[in-house]
Every structure is written in structure tokens, then in C-alpha cells.
Amino acid sequence: MDSVVTIERFADQGRCIAHIDGRVVFVRFALPGEKDRITLDEPHDRQDRFWTGEVTEVLSPSPLRVKPAWKLAGPLADGGGVGGADLIHVSLQGQHEWKKSVIDQQMLRLGGVESDVPVHAAPGDDQRGGLHWRTRIEMIADENGMPSMRRRASHHRVPITDMPLATEELLGIARQENVWRGGFKPGSQIRLAVPQLHGSERRGNNYAVFADGKLKAGGPVLTETVPQVQIGSTPQTITYEVNARGFWQVHRCAPQMLVNQVLQDAQEQIDSVPRTMWDLYSGSGLFALALGLLAGRGGNGLFTVEGSAVAVRSARANLRHAGLGAAQAKCGSVERVLRSIPSRYLHPDLVVLDPSRAGAKRAVIHQIAEAGPRVVIYVSCNPTSLARDTATLIAQDYRPVDLQAFDLYPMTHHVETIATFVQTREARRRAA
């Protein structure tokens, strides 16, 4: 079913809002202020609260609209539909406006907080047109063994010979290892992980190509280098060893930007060096190493929790190599581990948490509040879960003092945020 609609405003998940006969329609590849012809997704005759659809013809374009730099990721009607870049039709300025709008809307609607969040671009993204930022990509081999992506609303696999969002270094490895020539077992999962090089670093074996979890080229453990980390007044370079199949921030600049923002917020809100710190959902130790180096004392007072055993093994090795062997890195669900935390870590000065898209949720937020940290720094890749957890933190006598957003996923609706909370005076007085 086709309809002509006026697009009203930005919404979450890379969609905009329109109405048909009073019913809300979430529209892909639209922009506010446009008049667009759209095709509703099937089935479109059900009595749901809302419908979904996609632009098939732009009748009056927004000034924020651009020609998709990656046609395969654009609308189905234009030969696209492979996904992975749902804002490919939006200028970089428009993408920042969109992400700011979603964050501010969710923080007000779910968090009860009025915000005016700035969205920061990563260095070099403007010059690259929002492309070439991913240090990790995943694909599926089609029936002919070629790397492919599935076209939306079908089972059809589109073979690809390029990935415009991948870094130039990753694309170089893909060519070197003949990834685009295929030869994979049909249906196998293909993964490339290629750390960003800095300065005079040499590539060597520091990359990985996997097919169905088996290493085909490169090495199983990657070295990730984060330069210019502002530890006090002295910028340092921090080196991490990361399992090639494990999680690492995917944007080439994300580790440096996020670590420096967390350090800045911690140092602005805590007068003295924090003696006890929690790093929750800590991964391979991205924030833990920087926090430990800031506090010193060999990591004494640093307590980390992560659910992935592979990541915890990496974190423990990274902490030792950084001279922070006194830190405790626990493996398990955050909620479970915090029920039996060692007594010397019971009352942290600072808590940093970086949960998955689902957020920390009420039980963990209550555990954090019960521990009484003066400062909580919440790193989030989902404005909706951040907003919900913000409301819980506020109810537990924490007030937000800073909110920053980072466009670490150009051409997609995703955005990274860092929110800083401080314990209210009333709560500190009661604890005393």
C-alpha cells in the first residue's frame, strides 16, 4: 500500500514520524518537513498502534538530504536495502541534529531531565564524509561463497566487494587476504578485525580474518593502542591486548575520545585522587587501565566486573602489563558479583559503567546507589536505556551534572553518550 505523507519529526531507530488517518507511521529514509511517497510494510491492514514503511519517492526534499554515498545501504526502491547505514541519506550535520533530537527527547520523556546535548564528531570524519571508520566488520558468505549482506524484507543475499564504512586499513587487509574474491563456505560468518595504527606502528600480524569462528589470517590476539590519553597533566599512550573475536569499540577514534571524556569528568568532579573505584561492564579494561593509572598505587582500590570470560582474561593481562596487578577483575553478571563484593571495595568514590544496549537496569542502579559513590559516570550506546537508568539514579539521590554525545557511528542512528552524576548533598549528609 502506497501513501503520500508529510514527515513530521525525527524518531528513534533511524525512522521519522508521519500519520495516516490518525495512525502513527514510522518511516525509513525520510526527513522532517518532506512530502514523501511511502510504501507500508506488510501486513499493513492490521490494527496495530503504529505502522512502518519506507520512502519510495521524495516529492519535496529536506535540505538535510544527500545522495547516499553507499547505494546498497539506501532505500529498497533505489536498489539498496542491505542495512548497516540507515542514515546514509542524511548530511553529517543532519545526522548530528537527528541524534541530538533523539537524546534530548528520551532524556525528557523517560529520564525527566531537560537536556541540550552537544554531539561531537570524531577527528577526520568530516573529511572522510562519514565513511571509513569501522575497525571491525562482519558479513555472511552467500550461496556462491562470496561475502554478502542480506537485503531487508527478503532472504536474498547481495554479494559485496567493498565496505565503505570500514577503515582504509581494514579494506587493505581485505584486499591482501583476497576476502572480496570469495571462496568461503556458503553460510559461513566472515569477520575482519584490524586495529587502527598510530604514528610509526607497523602492521605485521596485527589483524584477524575469521570464517565461522576459525582464524584464516592474522593473529588471535590483537594489540590496540590508544594515544594521547590525558592522565592528569601528562598525555600517555596505553596499549591493550584484545582477543580478536571479542568486543572493542569499533570506531577508529572511539577509545581515545571516550577514555579522555571519562577521565576529564572524573577529575572535574572529584577533588582528590579516588581511592576506590568500580569499573562495571569493563570489557578488556578500556577504562580500567586509564582509571588505574590515574589513581596509581598499582591498581589497589580498582574493582572491575565483566560477564565475558574472554574479555576478563584480556583485562587481567592488560592490568598486569600496565603495572596495575593489585586491581581485582571479576567475571560474572554485574548484579550477582556486586552482591558479594569484598569489603575493602564496598564504598567506592567513583563508579564507571558501560553496559550493553539494554542498560544497567534498576537492580544494578540500586546496588550502585547503596554503595554511595560520590560520582557515577555512565557510558551508553542507547539513549533510551540511559534515560530510564537516569530516572532511577535521580530517584536514588543522584543528579546529572554533564551529558556529552559522540557520533561514533556515522551513517547510522547509533550514538555514544557519557552522562555524569553526583551524589546530592542530602544523600551525603545521610551517609555521614
Tell me the helix, strand and coil percentages in the chain, rounded to 5: 30, 30, 40
* Residue 259 and residue 419 in contact, taking contact as beta carbons nearer than 8 Å: no
381 in active site: yes
Give how far the C-alpha of residue 312 lies from the chain's centroid of Cα atoms, to the nearest Å.
20
CA–CA gap between residue 221 and residue 243 (Å, rounded): 5
Return the sign of the alpha-carbon dihedral for residues 345, 351, 354, 357. Answer: positive
The SS3 assignment for 315 reads helix
Angle at alpha carbon of residue 131, lines to 265 and 58, rounded to 5°: 110
Q: Identify the three-state secondary structure at position 15.
A: strand
Output the nine-digit C-alpha cell for 330. Answer: 571479576
Which residue among 16, 253, 331, 381 is the active-site one? 381
SS3 235: strand
For the chain, report the end-to-end CA distance as a whole number of angstroms: 64
Length of the chain: 432
Is there a contact between 206 and 160 (Cβ–Cβ < 8 Å)? no
Nearest to 292 by CA among 263, 270, 332: 263
Name the residues annotated as catalytic: 381
